[in-house]
């Protein structure tokens, strides 16, 4: 099946090298060295630090009516691409849009992140935290793990920055819709510090509703609990500190109070739902 889908992607992308890096429910994600506009004599490395680009391809979904499928593919691809371009204009950190072919479900964007040491994989927040958690447990033994002792200062800084990134998005009345530690990629800045950048805006939307923003935070909280169970409470506390800071800096503390109050309700609803199965 996936061979056929890759062939379909290749049929829209003649002569483009495609290296499959992820196959999700909605899309296939490829890495490529080919830029959509640059002549092949110019290497990407000649014009910027990146030597790779990402191609996100939404394939035909056989379980959908073909007409509806075409419409959905086109509109979802176009809205994700528009949002990436809007985020760039707003100065919110996200992959830069390079090109889009909405009717064929293709978005070409900047490739973010770096390879973590010791084969830790790409620098998603999830992989990076797993790497540090493993190191921490090796250095301190299982006792500290049981006591849920906090990891170092860098983790606190990064989690606060994650909270700030989500806060920035919410202050622009944009909700992400699928916040997880895999959908946050760490990028090194000029001082070699890790800067979290949100990716995967496929389920994002414009909303000024307190409910939508608190659900966004809740989804991330749940994702952290399931992926980093021993440390998630601490991670989330730091994240919420960053979220508060960015609201304070933008004189939006009233809005912040409403969102945090609603987050408590959303948590209660979530608990009730899981109790009822
Ligand atoms: N701009 C990017 N830079 C680097 N890696 C990326 C980028 N975009 C996507 N990826 C990688 O591809 C994976 C899947 O991308 P994305 O989440 O956008 O697709 P998806 O089909 O919505 O995935 P899922 O269904 O798993 O949520 C990411 O977790 C990440 O590892």
| Same domain for 188 and 65 | no
Quote the number of domains for the chain. 2
Helices and strands of the chain, counted as H and E runs = 8, 9
Q: Per mean pLDDT, which range of 27-36, 133-142, 186-195, 204-213 is the poorest?
A: 133-142
Residue at 116 is within a domain:
no
Atom 10 of ligand 1, residue of closest alpha carbon: 29
Q: Which atom of ligand 1 is nearest to the CA of 113?
A: 4
| Domain end call among 75, 110, 145 | 110
| Same domain for 264 and 134 | yes
Residue 176 to residues 78, 109, 179, Cα–Cα distance (Å) = 16, 18, 6
pLDDT of 145 > 90? The answer is no
Instruction: Quote the ipTM score.
Output: 0.93
Residue at 129 is within a domain:
yes
Residue at 74 is within a domain:
yes
| Same domain for 216 and 133 | yes
Residue at 158 is within a domain:
yes
pLDDT of 121 > 80? The answer is yes
Q: In the prediction, which pLDDT does 1 show?
A: 52
Q: In the prediction, which pLDDT does 166 show?
A: 98
Q: Which atom of ligand 1 is nearest to the CA of 122?
A: 31
The C-alpha R_g of the chain, in whole angstroms, comes to 20
| Same domain for 102 and 15 | yes
| Domain end call among 60, 82, 110 | 110
Cα 215–Cα 216–Cα 221 angle in degrees, nearest 5: 90
Cα 133–Cα 202–Cα 240 angle in degrees, nearest 5: 45
The predicted model gives 124-152 an average pLDDT of: 77
- How is residue 54 annotated by DSSP? E
Q: In the prediction, which pLDDT does 118 show?
A: 83
Asked whether the beta carbons of 132 and 143 are under 8 A apart, the reply is no
| Same domain for 253 and 145 | yes
Q: In the prediction, which pLDDT does 136 show?
A: 84
Query: Is there a catalytic annotation at residue 200?
Result: no
Q: Which atom of ligand 1 is nearest to the CA of 202?
A: 22
Residues with CB under 6 A from ligand 1: 21-22, 24-27, 29, 54, 56, 95, 109-113, 122, 124, 178, 182-183, 185, 199-200, 202
Return the number of other C-beta atoms located less than 10 Å from residue 2's C-beta: 10
pLDDT of 211 > 60? The answer is yes
The string of pLDDT tens digits covering residues 148-176 is 555 678 999 999 999 999 999 999 999 99
Q: In the prediction, which pLDDT does 46 show?
A: 59
| Same domain for 263 and 183 | yes
| Same domain for 97 and 190 | no
Atom 1 of ligand 1, residue of closest alpha carbon: 111
Range of the domain at 9: 2-110
181 CA → ligand 1 middle, Å = 11
**Exposed e or buried b for every residue in 202-241, given b needs 16+ CB within 10 A?**
bbbeebeebebbbbbbbbbbbbbeebbeebbebbbebbbe
pLDDT of 146 > 90? The answer is no
The predicted model gives 78-101 an average pLDDT of: 95
Between 15 and 31, where is the model more confident?
A: 31
Residue at 198 is within a domain:
yes
| Same domain for 148 and 253 | yes
| Same domain for 46 and 150 | no
Q: Which residues make beta-bridge pairs with 97? A: 109
55 CA → ligand 1 middle, Å = 10
The predicted model gives 242-257 an average pLDDT of: 98
Residue at 144 is within a domain:
yes
**CATH number where 169 lies:** 1.10.510.10
Average pLDDT, the chain: 90
pLDDT of 259 > 70? The answer is yes
Asked whether the beta carbons of 214 and 151 are under 8 A apart, the reply is no
Residue at 118 is within a domain:
no
Report the C-alpha gap between 124 and 172 in whole angstroms: 24
| Same domain for 194 and 168 | yes
Atom 26 of ligand 1, residue of closest alpha carbon: 24
- Show Cβ contacts of residue 26 under 8 Å, excluding neighbours closer than 6 positions: 58, 76, 202
Report the C-alpha gap between 183 and 122 in whole angstroms: 12
| Domain end call among 79, 110, 141 | 110
Residue at 115 is within a domain:
no
Asked whether the beta carbons of 265 and 213 are under 8 A apart, the reply is no
The model's confidence at residue 48, banded by pLDDT at 50, 70 and 90, is: low
178, 200, 212, 216: the catalytic one is 178
Q: In the prediction, which pLDDT does 47 show?
A: 54
Q: Crossing angle of helices 153-171/232-249, nearest 10°?
A: 50
| Same domain for 141 and 81 | no
| Same domain for 59 and 22 | yes
Q: In the prediction, which pLDDT does 267 show?
A: 94
Q: Is 195 helix (H, G, I), strand (E, B) or coil?
A: strand
Asked whether the beta carbons of 108 and 54 are under 8 A apart, the reply is yes
Q: In the prediction, which pLDDT does 276 show?
A: 65
Q: In the prediction, which pLDDT does 2 show?
A: 78
Q: Write out the two tokens for 277.
A: 């199965």
- In 3D space, the residue among 216, 221, 245, 247 whose CA is nearest the CA of residue 232 turns out to be 221
Q: In the prediction, which pLDDT does 35 show?
A: 83
**CATH number where 69 lies:** 3.30.200.20
Q: In the prediction, which pLDDT does 195 show?
A: 96
Tokens 């496929």 map to which residue?
A: 202
């Amino acid at each position: 099946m996936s061979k056929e889908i890759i062939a379909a992607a290749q049929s829209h992308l003649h002569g483009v090298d495609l290296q499959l890096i992820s196959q999700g429910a909605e899309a296939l994600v490829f890495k490529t060295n080919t830029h959509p506009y640059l002549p092949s004599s110019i290497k990407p490395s000649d014009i910027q630090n990146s030597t790779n680009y990402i191609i996100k391809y939404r394939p035909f979904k056989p379980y959908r009516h073909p007409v509806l499928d075409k419409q959905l593919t086109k509109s979802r691809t176009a809205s994700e691409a528009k949002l990436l371009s809007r985020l760039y204009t707003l100065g919110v950190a996200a992959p830069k849009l390079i090109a889009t072919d909405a009717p064929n479900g293709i978005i070409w964007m900047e490739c973010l992140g770096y390879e973590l040491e010791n084969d830790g994989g790409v620098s998603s927040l999830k992989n990076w935290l797993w790497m540090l958690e493993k190191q921490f447990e090796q250095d301190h033994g299982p006792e500290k793990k049981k006591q849920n002792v906090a990891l170092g200062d860098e983790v606190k800084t990064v989690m606060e920055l994650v909270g700030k990134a989500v806060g920035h998005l919410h202050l622009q009345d944009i909700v992400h819709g699928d916040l997880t530690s895999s959908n946050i990629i760490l990028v090194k800045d000029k001082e070699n510090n890790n800067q979290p950048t949100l990716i995967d805006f496929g389920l994002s939307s414009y909303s000024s509703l307190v409910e939508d923003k608190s659900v966004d935070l809740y989804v991330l909280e749940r994702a952290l609990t399931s992926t980093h169970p021993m440390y998630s409470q601490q991670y989330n506390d730091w994240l919420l500190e960053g979220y508060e800071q960015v609201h304070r800096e933008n004189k939006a503390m009233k809005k912040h109070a409403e969102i945090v109050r609603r987050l408590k309700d959303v948590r209660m609803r979530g608990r009730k739902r899981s109790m009822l199965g």
